[in-house]
Amino acid sequence: MTELMTDTFEAAMTRAVASLRRVDELNEQYRAGSVRVNVPDALRDGDRAIDTLVEQHLPASYAALQAASRGLFFSLPVAFDPTESVGPYLAIIDRDPGGKPYRFLDMGALIATQAFGDNEPAIVRAVLESLPFVATRYAHSEYQTVLSLRLKAALTRIAPAGAPRHFIVNTGAEAVENAIKSVLMNRVMTSPDGDGGFIVSFDGAFHGRTLGALAATGQDKYKDGFGPLPGVTHVPYGDLEAVRAAMGPDVAGILVEPVQGEGGVLPAPPGFLRELRALTSSAGSLLLADEVQTGIGRTGKFLAFEHDAVQADVVALAKALGGGVPIGAMVCKKFLEEALPPGSHGSTFGGNPLASAAALAVLDVLENDGLLAQVNQRGEELSQLLSKTASKFPKLVECTRGRGLLQALVLREGVDARKVMTSLQESGVLLTIAGGQALRFSPPLHSIAFWSRTFCRPNWSRSCSARRLRSGRVMFSVSRIAWRFSQTVNCLKMLCSWLR
């Protein structure tokens, strides 16, 4: 080894050791309850747009964003710093006067991809232990490694009985594309006319942004400008009569989310999934489950379909499967393996070592840490909290809904949900909007014992007393932003106090 290579490796090892020590320190502080939201007070100035406030008060983030200004788009105008993030607390590159990183509380788990939060030791350890594999570029079904084979064995073990076949990909859209292709090809191979037929999907659905998944998506805002996308018929979600009317000999399958995430966190009505199973079975068509957002324990079961004791023929997985590392999978019943013979689909980086190592760690935690029981318990706590907020302000909040740790507070029409979200961002809390009026809560799963112990306290309502409001110590500064949407702010006072 040359002297230059030796110096390079030693420098890399020094940085790696320092990074690991910092991860350990962050997790100790987090579990001790000492990590908190930390944003500049001036960021809560409701008189000015958040982009202007970032330019003035978060100069490091502003400079980084300006350097990347030719990128197509971004939403929150800050630059995150993963080296200082832990659990649901996402650090940014800007520091406060004391040198500590500013931090946001992410109640969206990076769009539901961070199963256990940032810098989760199980994921970090798995990646490091697999370093000889991760440093290579082996991928694709033609270049199997022991890691990708172990992942397939784990999926076989943890997936519902009767679904032993799987194909590893990189994203949720790719998993949905595979599911659709397998179902259409199955009809080509089994129907007298040799035609693929079409898929029944639902209004309000979201299945991805590639063209096949986009065709199945039931929201025009995602499809406008992309021309007619054939092969899918959409019917109202939860309407069994509409589904029955759409069924016919040309229907290859029904694609459904057990909880419509982007559609507004809308759970399937009781019995709806069971009826879909019965309809497809009697018609000789197939049932496809999009569990990209709801799977991997998000609702308290490995798959949300399991709450209804329903088994789909094909399941699409992604998001939390990699614990923050991009990976997806299509899981299907054995008889469908002939519908996607070798070469009918490929994925250049599907099952790559880094993604496989991370996914193995996620599945190991799901199997061995008693996590799903915790998700059910904490999900009930979150649901009760949101329900109390809704009952307190019935003129502003239409309802709450969800399952497990996928919940929503649905604001009434006329309440500007985007302004609410922006004010939460200015106060250090990150949420997403779904279905136009739903504030979506999908916090990390594994670390919930820590944030729930801190936030879901019995006397939560006392923390929003008039004295605290006057002192300005709650999340919203009413004097600064009430003039913009005072009633909406009041609606979320207690909720924000809990998050704080």
Instruction: Tell which residue, 58, 48, 120, has the closest CA to residue 87.
Output: 120
Q: Which residues touch 418 (CB under 8 Å, ≥6 apart)?
A: 433
Structure tokens at 115: 């199963």
Out of 104, 167, 202, 206, which one is annotated catalytic? 206
Q: Give CA angle at 491 (488, 497), nearest 5°.
A: 120
CA distance 242 to 234: 9
Out of 290, 313, 333, 455, which one is annotated catalytic? 290
Taking the mean position of all CA atoms in its chain, how far away is CA 390? 24
Instruction: Tell which residue, 386, 389, 475, has the closest CA to residue 426.
Output: 475
Could you confirm whether 152 is annotated as catalytic? no
Out of 301, 319, 333, 493, which one is annotated catalytic? 319
Is the separation of the CB atoms in 197 and 204 below 8 Å? no
Taking the mean position of all CA atoms in its chain, how far away is CA 347? 22
| Cα-based distances in Å from 497 to 31, 439, 477 | 20, 16, 12
CA distance 243 to 233: 10
Instruction: Tell which residue, 468, 405, 328, 494, has the closest CA to residue 88.
Output: 405
Structure tokens at 464: 């929003």
Could you confirm whether 319 is annotated as catalytic? yes
Is the separation of the CB atoms in 488 and 416 below 8 Å? yes
Is the separation of the CB atoms in 345 and 178 below 8 Å? yes
Residue-wise burial string across 51-67, b where 16 or more C-beta atoms lie within 10 A, e elsewhere = eebbbebbeebbebbee
Determine which helix (DSSP H) or strand (DSSP E) holds 259, and give its type and residue range: strand 259-260
The catalytic site residues sit at: 206, 290, 319
